[in-house]
Chains A and B, each alone.
Chain A
Amino acid sequence: MNSYRQSNVKRDRRRLFWGTALVVIIFIIDGISGGNLRGAVRLGGANVWSVGTHAGDAIFGSGFFSTRRALEEENQSLRGEISELQMRAAAFDVLREENAALQGLVHLAEGSRGITAPVVSSFRSSPYGTFLIGAGTEDGVRSGSIVLVGDSLRQSADGGFVIGRIEEAGAHTSLVKGIFAPGVTTDAVIREVGISVLGRGGGQARGEIPREALVAAGDPVVSATLGGKPIGIVGKVVEDAGDASQVVYIRFPINQNEIRFVYVLPAQQ
């Protein structure tokens, strides 16, 4: 019995050893192929994400879970009819949300040349502050391109807020690194006062400015290195009596989970 267990353990450990070696080989192959492997993984991930979110919208938007008890009380024919109408309403809601998101980008498209791309991943899944968009080199997207977000309710004078930069462009999907990704530093200006903004993830960042600077919550934060476009707004200013500087907490003004489309500017802009 003991020898049987030991042989099983040996077999498992051998498997793990070869698994570890395979991991290294996969990374080397990916590096040699110029990131083709991860490009394929991202394309697959984007497809799974799209299917998953559409299925989720259809299921939860139809009201299947919220009105199930009520529907059970109705007769069979009415139940079918209501379900169909609810499905249509859910589909309409999805289209209306997409339309609103695209309307927020219209003014960006009028002011500068670029392309509109759908967001094809979650904003919260990445441990590295990145997300995927459904446009790539075949659509004219290049590494280094600035990614903007428009908001139909809160349009900045400069046309949209910068949410990130294209870090890697695949054929059909691109990886965007958020401006406020953890550890990312961006030079910016608030009311003509220079500040180095350190990303903290989740659409938030912080920085320090001199104590004398007059900065208040709601002030826009603009970055010259990103075409002079706004990257966020001041959320809170904390002043310590014994400190020569004050801490500025900056946030992205739009809820990232509601962003459906982004606008990608060419790299040279």
Chain B
Amino acid sequence: MYFLRSNSVRVVIAVVGVLGALFAPPWLPLISMGILALRFRPWEVFAIGILVDFLWLPGAFFYPLPLFTIAAIALVWGLEPLRKEILV
């Protein structure tokens, strides 16, 4: 039951992040990415980061820098030690 509830929360936050990338100010997907990265080991954070950069960032081959994708990688790997401590 806890697993289901936890997964539902994860899906809801991910959906909020994806829709936020389209409809909301950029801080909403960023916060979604942060919450997901704190609570789970989420590949969705990469998807949201890429979505934001592919939608709004001009250029290719990492110039200008895809800040949201970099933030996604930093969040996922930077918070790994903390997750290792708090996740059951």
Judged by a CB distance under 8 angstroms, whether A255 is at the interface is no
**Total cross-chain contacts (CB, 8 A):** 100
On chain B, the residues within 8 Å of A23 by CB distance are 46, 49-50, 69, 72-73
Given contacts A13-B41, A16-B41, A19-B43, contact A125 B24 (CB under 8 A): yes
On chain A, the residues within 8 Å of B50 by CB distance are 23, 26-27
- Quick check: which of A58-66, A126-134, A190-198, A234-242 contacts chain B, the rest being far away? A126-134
On chain B, the residues within 8 Å of A128 by CB distance are 56-58, 64
What total of chain A residues lie within 8 Å of the partner, measured CB to CB? 38
Output the nearest chain B residue to A17 by Cβ-Cβ distance: B77
Choice from B26, B84, B88 contacting A127 with Cβ under 8 Å? B26
Residues B46 and A167 in contact, CB atoms below 8 Å apart: no
In terms of DSSP, what is the predominant structure of the interface of chain B? Answer: helix
B50-88 residues at the A interface, CB under 8 angstroms: 50-52, 54-62, 64, 66-69, 72-73, 76-77, 80, 84, 87-88
Residues A27 and B69 in contact, CB atoms below 8 Å apart: yes
Docked Cα-Cα span, A28 to B22, in Å, equals 23
On chain A, the residues within 8 Å of B87 by CB distance are 9
Residues B67 and A127 in contact, CB atoms below 8 Å apart: yes
Distance in Å: Cβ of B55 to nearest Cβ of chain A: 5
Judged by a CB distance under 8 angstroms, whether A206 is at the interface is no
Judged by a CB distance under 8 angstroms, whether A41 is at the interface is yes
